[in-house]
Amino acid sequence: MKKENNTEKVFSKKLFSNFSSSISFDRRLYKEDIDLSIAYSKALLKAEILTIEEQLKISDSLLIIKKNIEDGKFEWREDLEDIHMNIESSLHDEIGDIAGKIHTGKSRNDQVSTTTRLFLKNTIQEFKLILRGLQIEIVKKSEVNLDIIMPSYTHMQRAQPVLLSHHLMAYFEMLERDISRLQDCMERMDELVLGSGAVAGTFFDIDRNFLAKELGFSRINRNSMDGVSDRDFVLEFIFSTSSAMIHLSRLSEDLILWSTDEFNFVDLSDNVVTTSSMMPQKRNPDFAELIRGKFGRVLGSLVTVFSVMKALPLTYNRDMQEDKEPLFDCIDTFTQCTKVMTEIIRGAKFNKLSINSSLHGNMLATDIADALTYYGVPFRQAHIIVSNLTKTLNAKGKVISDLSLGELNSLLDTDTNIDLDINKSINSRSKIGGTSEKMVKAEIKLAKKKLEI
The last residue of a domain, from among 83, 104, 125 = 104
Whether residues 341 and 377 fall in one domain: no
- Residue of 17, 180, 276, 430 marked active site: 276
Is 442 domain-assigned? no
**Mean pLDDT of all residues in the chain?**
94
CA distance 316 to 347: 48
Who's near 187: CB < 8 A, 6+ residues apart? 218
State the pLDDT confidence band at 415, using cuts at 50, 70 and 90.
confident
Statement to judge: residues 226 and 294 lie in one domain: yes
Judge whether 452 lies within some domain.
no
Same domain for 152 and 64 = no
**406 three-class SS:** helix
Four-residue CA torsion sign, 434, 438, 441, 447:
negative
* CA-wise closest residue to 336 among 134, 71, 118: 134
pLDDT over 60 at 3, yes or no: no
Asked about 436 being catalytic, the answer comes back as: no
- Does pLDDT of 289 surpass 80? yes
Which has more pLDDT, 78 or 222? Answer: 222
Peptide bond into 366 cis (omega under 30): no
Q: Are residues 85 and 121 in the same domain?
A: no
Indicate whether 13 and 42 sit together in one domain. yes
Domain membership of residue 401 as a residue range: 361-420
Which residue type, as a one-letter code, is found at position 26?
D
- Identify the helix (H) or strand (E) that includes residue 162: strand 157-163
The CATH number linked to 296 is: 1.20.200.10
**Region label for 31, one of left (φ > 0), alpha (ψ between -120 and 50) or beta (otherwise):** alpha
Q: Does residue 143 register a pLDDT over 70?
A: yes
pLDDT for res 418: 79
Return the number of other C-beta atoms located less than 10 Å from residue 411's C-beta. Answer: 15
- The domain that holds 394 is classified in CATH as 1.10.40.30
pLDDT tens-digit readout, 331-349: 999 999 999 999 999 999 9
Q: C-alpha angle with apex 264: 260 to 265, nearest 5 degrees?
A: 115
Q: What is the mean pLDDT of residues 249-271?
A: 97
Which of helix, strand or coil describes residue 262? coil
pLDDT in tens, 205-258: 999 999 999 999 999 999 999 999 999 999 999 999 999 999 999 999 999 999
Let me know if residue 445 belongs to a domain. no
- The set of residues, in sequence order, having a beta carbon less than 8 Å from that of 27 and lying 6+ positions away, is 69, 76, 83, 86
Res 371: pLDDT: 85
In a domain, 342, yes or no: yes
* Residue 443 belongs to a domain: no
Spatial separation of the C-alpha atoms in residues 218 and 209, rounded to whole Å: 9
Cα separation values, 423 from 61, 149, 168, 359, 427, Å? 69, 8, 18, 12, 6
Q: How far apart are CA 109 and CA 200, in angstroms?
A: 11
* 160 and 34 within one domain: no
What pLDDT sits at residue 1?
Answer: 45
- Alpha-carbon gap, residue 224 to 314, rounded angstroms: 11
DSSP string, 7-76: HHHHHHHHHHHHHH--HHHHGGGHHHHHHHHHHHHHHHHHTTSS-HHHHHHHHHHHHHHHHHHHTT----
Q: Does residue 419 carry a pLDDT above 90?
A: no
> 203 CB contacts (<8 Å, ≥6 apart)?
105, 197
Provide the domain count of the chain: 3
Question: What pLDDT digit, counting tens, does each position of 83-92 carry?
Answer: 999 999 999 9
User: Which of 386, 414, 413, 410 has its CA nearest to residue 400?
Assistant: 386
Domain-ending residue, one of 61, 85, 104: 104
The end-to-end CA distance of the chain, in Å, is 76
Let me know the angle formed at the C-alpha of 107 by 105 and 113, rounded to the nearest 5 degrees.
Answer: 125
Which of 237, 109, 118 has its CA nearest to residue 183? Answer: 237
Element (H or E) spanning 392, and its range? helix 379-395
Q: Of 74, 104, 134, which marks where a domain is finished?
A: 104
pLDDT in tens, 358-412: 998 888 889 888 888 888 889 999 899 899 988 988 898 888 888 888 888 888 8
If asked whether residues 370 and 346 sit together in one domain, one would say no
Same-domain pairing of 62 and 142: no
- Kindly state whether residues 372 and 319 are assigned to the same domain: no
| Any domain includes 451 | no
Indicate whether 434 belongs to any domain. Answer: no
348 found inside a domain: yes
Q: Are residues 229 and 82 in the same domain?
A: no
66 pLDDT band, cuts 50/70/90, is very high
**Element spanning 151, H or E:** strand 149-154
CATH assignment of the domain containing 36: 1.10.275.10
Query: How do residues 94-104 score in pLDDT, each as one tens digit?
Result: 999 999 999 99
* Cβ-based neighbours of 309, under 8 Å, separated by 6 or more: 231, 235, 319, 320, 323
**pLDDT value at 290 more than 90:** yes
User: What is the pLDDT, as a whole number, of residue 153?
Assistant: 96
Q: Are residues 274 and 156 in the same domain?
A: yes
Residues 333 and 241 in one domain: yes
Contact present, 141 and 168 (Cβ < 8 Å): yes
Active site residue 155: yes
